[in-house]
Amino acid sequence: MRDVALNSWHLKIKSINGRWSELDPLTIPDPQVTIGDNIKIYSVLGIKSPNYDGSTLIKSGDSIAGFSYYKFECYGDPNWDPIIKEHKIKGQMVVTGVFDNKAKTEITISEISLDKAKLVVPNIDTMYQDTVPIIDKM
């Protein structure tokens, strides 16, 4: 086994019509939460900040953690909406290393209120006003 750096991490969401949309991660400020009298700051995967170096290098046998933010927008026919059951969306996280090896895993995304999200990233509702490009996978 060898050390490897991540080249990309995409989220795939399946629509009601059965088509998969692949979303690119978007940049956000370091998420933070207050725990008692302390503030816990989390890294955003691949983003350099005053608190993190932004490295995606994974040493052999180690793991990596960090937030990633995706925005899914669809319009027109409701069949393009993601499949939502009990306030949860199932998707796939697809990670590609610098040597072009891919790994994917099934994930479940739970719905949270906008107010709760804004406690972690204060301007999350206004930072991306434009439509975000989605890579449509057939």
Instruction: State the pTM of this model.
Output: 0.80
pLDDT of residue 134: 47
Q: Amino acid identity, residue 76? A: G
Q: Where are the domains of the chain?
A: 4-137
Q: Cβ distance 93 to 11 under 8 Å?
A: yes
CA distances from 82 to 13, 73, 89, 90, 108 (A): 7, 10, 7, 9, 12
Residues of the chain whose pLDDT is less than 70?
A: 129-138
pLDDT of residue 125: 87
